[in-house]
Structure 1
Amino acid sequence: MSSSATPPPTRARRAAVLGSPIGHSLSPALHRAAYAALGLRGWTYGRYEVDEARLPAFLSGLGPEWAGLSLTMPLKRAVIPLLDEISDTAASVEAVNTVVFAAEGRRLGENTDIPGMVAALRERGVDRVDSAAVLGAGATASSALAALGQLCDGEVTAYVRTPARAAEMRAWGERLGVAVRTADWSGAHRALDAPLVIATTPAGATDSLAPAAPAAPGTLFDVLYDPWPTPLAAAWEDRGGRVVGGLDLLVHQAVLQVELMTGTAPAPVKDMREAGEAAIASRPGHVPS
């Protein structure tokens, strides 16, 4: 037989990201770049508009060619009752962003946001801090607290807008074993003196804090990625501080998803980051930084 014989076709495998809205998602660019770099012929990655009401039927309609799903809002908690098992990490924050289809169709839920945050910070040299501050109190803030449980030796101060949000953050801290103190958003400028500041707020929420960036800042982790840099991130860099951005988080959580879904490691961080940067740059109205 000739040594140049054509190899057998690769079994088709599918994955996708679900959410609503979903058109903005960078996940297809990141995962497809990983498949190309890893030589995973036959793997495809799609994007589907799915809300909480449609999720059960969507899952029930998937065939054996499906390897996994990435989930964004509003599905991270809605999916939990539909799974056979979830990891301790996902259970700790009651949020699943990754579903892996295992033997006999079992649905396994994982959370790669938390280890993705830790990996993004460690990539930039942040291994341990004595204290930290979190801006905001939404779903991403609870993941930030879980990540800080692995990085922060002391107290975390959460700056929030309402007493109800303050109570939620203290409850998350107790559940996650993180010492959390809450403070009113009106004093959020004081957060900027912490050695590590994690901004989990929507676009525009921290813009007014930019002039208060300290002369010798520590590390800012801003979970936004477009537009980038945010005014706060730009001011931070101007003063010589270390900045970790939302694209870093997206890449590292997707790296873990690729490894879980394909069983291939390590996933190509560099190729995935470059694909994300290119996807952002191609968006209408994008202003290069």
Structure 2
Amino acid sequence: MPRAAVLGQPIAHSMSPILHTAGYKALGLDDWSYSRIETDAQTLPDIVGEVDDDYRGFSVTMPGKFAALNMATEVTDRARLMGSANTLVRIDGGWRADNTDTEGVEGALTELLGRADGMRLLDSFKPAPRALLIGSGGTARPALWALAQRGIKHIDLLNRTDRREELTHLMDELDLEISPVTYDDNIASIAQRAEVIVSTVPSPALEGHHKALAYAPILDVIYDPWPTPLTVHAAADGYPTVGGHRMLAYQSFSQFEQFTGHKAPREAMFDALHHYMRDRNVNRLY
């Protein structure tokens, strides 16, 4: 009986089983199962190393993403660039580490902004598009990758301190220009010049700044609770918003395909997520 699971701590809140199980059901993969396994970074290698051959893959959430990368026998280029892995796939002789968070952010941004060819064209009369990225933790790296894929190479990075040094390799590899911003700067003016704002921090970290930042389309990676104060303010001013639940769905599709060898039934997986969010009364998705 082929199996997959999500690894992390805490893990009870994970919606990955909702997505993957819906995919199995839609494709008639009745022998597949997907579960949650509680593990920290220290115990993750032992758990993965000791599971039986039924396990075809693992989704990995914090705090195990660095451990997953380090224990893998094979690493994809994007996982190496991100410096972490959210996906482990069984291969001959071990496990392949991948990072589909890149696809998660890219899918959510595409949903938010439309197709890449719908973005404004660069010419001598228009400034290069900029993005405002809030936070520089683990999700910030795939966010930078996804922004670079859309041709947005000028990033204002909002943190309480300048943390660009941690992102030097990404800046070089993706040809990014990152400007440090703190909450002491005129963040409303900086938000107003942004093509898009990506927030990767918990809502309490932005307390007192939500209104000043709500001047562009916003991807907020937080999804519980949803909507966030930041997206509420942005929506009130007429800007589109997307939450982390959509990002979670987009990153799950590639995982599903790598685990099962079948194309992910995206509509069925999206529907399952929608119904789950609705049933939890977390407000509407869109």
| TM-score normalised by structure 1 residue count | 0.87
- For residue 120 of structure 1, what is the aligned residue in structure 2? 108
Return the letter of the residue paired with 1:75. Answer: G
- For residue 125 of structure 2, what is the aligned residue in structure 1? none
- For residue 210 of structure 1, what is the aligned residue in structure 2? 210
Return the letter of the residue paired with 1:196. Answer: V
**Hey, what's the Cα distance between the residues in 2 that align with 1:203 and 1:213?**
12
Q: Does 1:13 align with 2:2?
A: yes
Q: CA deviation at 1:65?
A: 1.2
Q: CA deviation at 1:282?
A: 4.2
Return the letter of the residue paired with 2:219. Answer: F
Q: CA deviation at 1:174?
A: 2.7
Asked if structure 1 preserves the Cα contact closer than 8 Å seen for 2:227 and 2:283, the reply is no
Return the letter of the residue paired with 1:277. Answer: H
Asked if structure 1 preserves the Cα contact closer than 8 Å seen for 2:72 and 2:96, the reply is yes
Q: Does 1:278 align with 2:275?
A: yes
Q: CA deviation at 1:281?
A: 4.0
Q: CA deviation at 1:264?
A: 0.7
**Hey, what's the Cα distance between the residues in 2 that align with 1:207 and 1:252?**
28
Query: 3-state SS of the aligned residue for 2:22?
Result: helix
2:179 to 178, 181, 193: 181
Q: Does 1:162 align with 2:157?
A: no
Between stretches 24-33 and 124-133, larger displacement belongs to 124-133
Q: CA deviation at 1:269?
A: 2.1
Q: Which has the larger radius of gyration?
A: 1
Distance verdict in 2 for CA 1:141–1:213, change over 3 Å: closer
Distance verdict in 2 for CA 1:191–1:95, change over 3 Å: farther
Between stretches 240-249 and 170-179, larger displacement belongs to 170-179
Query: 3-state SS of the aligned residue for 2:184?
Result: helix
Structure 1: unaligned runs, 5 residues or longer: 1-11
Q: Does 1:288 align with 2:277?
A: no
**Paired-residue identity, %:** 35
Q: CA deviation at 1:234?
A: 1.2
**Hey, what's the Cα distance between the residues in 2 that align with 1:223 and 1:186?**
24
- For residue 31 of structure 1, what is the aligned residue in structure 2? 20
Distance verdict in 2 for CA 1:16–1:287, change over 3 Å: closer
Distance verdict in 2 for CA 1:149–1:213, change over 3 Å: closer
**Hey, what's the Cα distance between the residues in 1 that align with 2:25 and 2:115?**
30
The superposition leaves residues 191-214 of structure 1 with CA deviations (integer Å, 9 ceiling, x where unpaired) of: 421111100111322342332256
Query: 3-state SS of the aligned residue for 1:186?
Result: coil
Between stretches 85-94 and 51-60, larger displacement belongs to 51-60
The equivalences for 1:71-82 within 5 A come to 71-82=60-71
Asked if structure 1 preserves the Cα contact closer than 8 Å seen for 2:100 and 2:254, the reply is yes
Return the letter of the residue paired with 1:237. Answer: A
- For residue 199 of structure 1, what is the aligned residue in structure 2? 199
- For residue 134 of structure 1, what is the aligned residue in structure 2? 133
- For residue 224 of structure 2, what is the aligned residue in structure 1? 226
Asked if structure 1 preserves the Cα contact closer than 8 Å seen for 2:220 and 2:243, the reply is yes
Asked if structure 1 preserves the Cα contact closer than 8 Å seen for 2:5 and 2:35, the reply is yes
**Hey, what's the Cα distance between the residues in 2 that align with 1:55 and 1:88?**
22
Over aligned residues, Cα RMSD in angstroms?
1.9
Return the letter of the residue paired with 1:278. Answer: H
Query: 3-state SS of the aligned residue for 2:33?
Result: strand
2:260 to 233, 252, 262: 262
Asked if structure 2 preserves the Cα contact closer than 8 Å seen for 1:169 and 1:180, the reply is no
Return the letter of the residue paired with 1:135. Answer: I
Structure 2: unaligned runs, 5 residues or longer: 121-128
**Hey, what's the Cα distance between the residues in 2 that align with 1:169 and 1:183?**
15
Return the letter of the residue paired with 1:82. Answer: M
The number of equivalent residue pairs is 271
Between stretches 255-264 and 129-138, larger displacement belongs to 129-138
Q: CA deviation at 1:36?
A: 0.6
